Amino acid sequence: MTSSSSKPRIILDCDPGHDDAVAIVVAAHTCELLGITTVAGNAPLDRTTHNARVLRHMLDLDVEVHSGAGRPMVVEPAFAGYVHGESGLDGADLPEPTRPLDGTDGIQFLIETARSNPGCHLVVTGPMTNIALALRSDPSLGDHIASISFMGGGTFGNRTAMSEFNFWADPHAAAVVVNSGLPLIMAGLDVTHQFQATAPRIEQVKSIDGQLAHVLSGLFDFFSANYSSRHDDMEGAAVHDPLAVLALSHPQLFESEERFVDVVIDGDHTRGMTVVDQRTLIDRPAANCTVLTKVDADAAWDVAAAAIAAGSVER
Ligand code: RIB
Ligand code: CA
């Protein structure tokens, strides 16, 4: 059991979303969770914010939730109901959260919380709008944060052949963050597709007692049925977002490479495309990102299952 002093201190910016929900559960167990901010992405902001409050309620967390940007910096809003359902968290009967939202200026909350917790990490599991706007609003923000660990990008796409959804949904924000010069850890599709909610792993969650495990197993059933029906080679949903948390709390579960990464802003197939320079050329651009390339998926799932069990205890 890691002591709270050794846990990474994080602010989680998310768009729940099934895999964001798992990221919240894992973060509550493996990190010191300083706050949650929400962004439009998988669903409109009112839905992602409600869903974050539902997870906080189920985990009985004393953590502030602040909503952030309701639309991307430049492109038009576009959501992922085709994956997560119109609610953003289809597939289970969810309890109504009792604690109200703590604020609607998530960008200012990010800035203030980072300033008062120097050395904290930003963990980003949705479109990067809030982070980009925070960096624009306070150019010294980087002085207070140790790293930005994000789920996004990859050498292939899911929203288009070349673009991953979080980067596609707000390519301008992704470009601001990737070019910020801050320490970056990227959990792209190359590594997150290794972390699938297969039937045996879902059964592992179903064997856990408690409301949270029951709800999550329903969410996993929905999420994996969606992925399996939409892919001809996946045994279950890629549970993307918790890897951005585990990269900080359990770095030993990963292999990575230091790479130069950039983002393409537009193009029918290339909007939000990630450029990862894998050349062995000596005078290639300097690396700006730790790109996660491999995860010990079984060990990572065991950590997630332990987090679900810890969050499932009756209170
Ligand atoms: O492409 C996967 C990413 O888009 C995940 O963060 C998922 O939750 C969606 O936001
Ligand atoms: Ca997400």
pLDDT of 235 higher than 80: yes
Asked, for residue 212, whether it belongs to a domain, the answer is: yes
Whole-model pTM: value is: 0.97
Position in ligand 1 atom list of the atom nearest CA 151: 6
> What CATH number should be reported for the domain holding residue 84?
3.90.245.10
Q: Is residue 98 part of a domain?
A: yes
Confidence of residue 1 (pLDDT cuts 50, 70, 90): very low
What percent of the chain clears pLDDT 70, i.e. is strictly above it?
Answer: 98
| CA torsion, ordered 34, 39, 42, 44, to nearest 10 deg | 130
The type of residue at 150 is F
For residue 188, what are the domain limits? 9-312
Position 30 in a domain: yes
Ligand 1 mean position to 169 CA, how many Å? Answer: 10
Residue the block writes with tokens 């009985």: 60
Give the pLDDT mean for 209-213: 95
Token pair 């939409």: residue: 230
The residue whose C-alpha atom lies closest to atom 1 belonging to ligand 1 is 165
Does the residue 4 lie in any domain? no
Q: What proportion of the chain, given as a percentage, has pLDDT over 90?
A: 95
Q: Which two tokens stand for residue 196?
A: 């699938």
Q: What is the pLDDT of residue 315?
A: 57
Would the pLDDT of 3 be above 60? no
Cβ atoms of 10 and 27 within 8 Å: the answer is: yes
Residue from 90, 164, 240, 274 to probe ligand 1 pocket by mutation (most atoms less than 8 Å from CB): 240
Residue 226, in any domain of the structure: yes
Residue 176 placed within a domain: yes
pLDDT in tens, 13-34: 999 999 999 999 999 999 999 9
| Cβ of residue 106 lying under 6 Å from some atom of ligand 1 | no
Q: How far is the CA of 40 from the centre of ligand 2 (A)?
A: 10
Domain total of the chain: 1
Q: Is 295 left (phi over 0), alpha (psi -120 to 50) or beta?
A: beta
Distance 16 CA to ligand 2 centre (A): 6
Q: Give the residue-averaged pLDDT of 133-154.
A: 98
240 is catalytic: yes
Residue at 33 is within a domain:
yes
- Is position 280 within any domain? yes
Q: What phi, psi does 285 have (nearest 5°)?
A: -60, 145
Average pLDDT for residues 290-306, to the nearest whole number?
98
Q: Quick one: pLDDT at residue 313? A: 73
Residues 302 and 59: their CA atoms lie apart, in Å, by 18
d(CA 70, CA 143): 27
Instruction: Please state the rounded mean pLDDT for residues 276-295.
Output: 97
For a mutational test of ligand 1's pocket, the pick from 151, 223, 271, i.e. the residue with the most ligand atoms closer than 8 A to its C-beta, is 151
Pocket test for ligand 1, best of 19, 39, 47, 149 (most atoms within 8 A of CB): 19
Span 79-107, mean pLDDT? 94
Residue 108: how many other CB atoms lie within 10 Å: 17
Instruction: For residue 77, report the distance from its CA to the centre of ligand 1, in Å.
Output: 15
Q: Report whether pLDDT(256) > 80.
A: yes
DSSP secondary structure letters along the chain: ---GGGSPEEEEEE--SHHHHHHHHHHHHHSEEEEEEE-SSSS-HHHHHHHHHHHHHHHT----EEE--SS-SSSPP---HHHH-TTSSTTS-PPPP-SPP-BS-HHHHHHHHHHHSTTEEEEE-S-SHHHHHHHHH-TTGGGGEEEEEEE---SS-SSSSSB-HHHHH-HHHHHHHHTS-S-EEEE-HHHHTTSEE-HHHHHHHHTS-SHHHHHHHHHHHHHHHHHHHH-SS-SSEE--THHHHHHHH-GGGEEEEEEEEEE----TTTTTBEEEE----TTPPPP-EEEEEEE-HHHHHHHHHHHHHHHTS--
Ligand positioned closest to the Cα atom of 15? 2
